[in-house]
């Protein structure tokens, strides 16, 4: 149990280096960006360094700061996806079944976050239609945002070997060019306890639902 309680997010990941968070110009004015925009944490918990506090937008068009607004002090399930990718590698239908298996109280306590890997196509409107079509229930947010912001988030949660997008080894997007294991794995955890784990997204819904008791969703943690 002691080993299981170890934080199971990407091995070796660390807080985003200051150099990677270079200041950028305001995109509202149409000016060019100079890297991801990560906000300071208001009150970081035990695992905050794994979740860059970037701006994200949900399927209803509401903006959030990822860690401060959606992760801190919550019990969560997190996965990466895209609308087009779900057609080739369907996982959302399975997660909908997981949600239906949970008691009503657990559904209200669990925050679901599905974060797109295709921010340029997956607008809030497209994600809203996708969520409605799939029957996603309460407390389930489908998130998009600026591609640079989501790339640094993805790289921090899932470490993988990149496929270069250009001959230059220093291409700024090389580190984020392959979804890797993230389309097949979900993360679940309780940030207040610093307790996190992972699960294959396509295993039996009953098995996934059972795992949530380990992070206190049944009220016994």
Does a structural domain hold residue 38?
no
Does a structural domain hold residue 30?
no
Does a structural domain hold residue 10?
no
Does a structural domain hold residue 22?
no
Does a structural domain hold residue 1?
no
| Res 170: pLDDT | 38
| Res 33: pLDDT | 58
Does a structural domain hold residue 16?
no
| Res 11: pLDDT | 34
Does a structural domain hold residue 2?
no
Within its chain, how far is the Cα of 155 from the centroid? Answer: 11
| Res 45: pLDDT | 94
Please count the structural domains in the chain: 1
| Res 159: pLDDT | 56
Does a structural domain hold residue 15?
no
CATH number at residue 87: 3.40.30.10
Q: How, if at all, do strands 140-143 and 110-116 pair?
A: parallel
Question: How far is 103 from 93, CA to CA, in rounded Å?
Answer: 18
What is the residue range of 135's domain? 44-215
Cβ burial 28-39 (10 Å sphere, 16+ → b, else e):
eeeeebeebbbe
List average pLDDT for each run of 10 residues in the chain, which is 221 residues long.
41 35 40 75 93 96 98 96 93 96 93 96 98 96 96 78 37 39 85 93 96 82 46
């Amino acid at each position: 149990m002691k080993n299981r309680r170890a934080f199971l997010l990407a091995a070796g990941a660390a807080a985003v280096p200051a150099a990677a968070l270079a200041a950028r110009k305001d995109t509202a004015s149409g000016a060019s960006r100079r890297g991801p925009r990560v906000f300071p944490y208001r009150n970081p918990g035990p695992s905050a360094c794994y979740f860059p506090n970037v701006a994200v937008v949900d399927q209803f068009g509401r903006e959030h700061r990822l860690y401060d607004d959606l992760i801190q002090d919550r019990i969560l399930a997190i996965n990466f996806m895209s609308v087009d990718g779900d057609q080739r590698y369907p996982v959302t239908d399975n997660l909908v079944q997981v949600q239906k298996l949970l008691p009503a109280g657990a559904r209200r306590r669990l925050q679901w976050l599905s974060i797109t890997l295709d921010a340029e196509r997956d607008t809030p409107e497209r994600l809203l239609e996708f969520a409605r079509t799939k029957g996603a229930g309460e407390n389930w947010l489908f998130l998009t945002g600026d591609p640079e912001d989501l790339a640094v988030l993805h790289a921090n949660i899932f470490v993988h070997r990149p496929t270069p997008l250009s001959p230059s080894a220093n291409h700024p997007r090389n580190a984020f060019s392959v979804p890797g294991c993230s389309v097949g794995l979900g993360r679940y955890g309780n940030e207040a306890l610093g307790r996190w784990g992972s699960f294959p997204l396509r295993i039996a819904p009953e098995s996934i639902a059972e795992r949530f008791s380990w992070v206190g969703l049944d009220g016994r943690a």
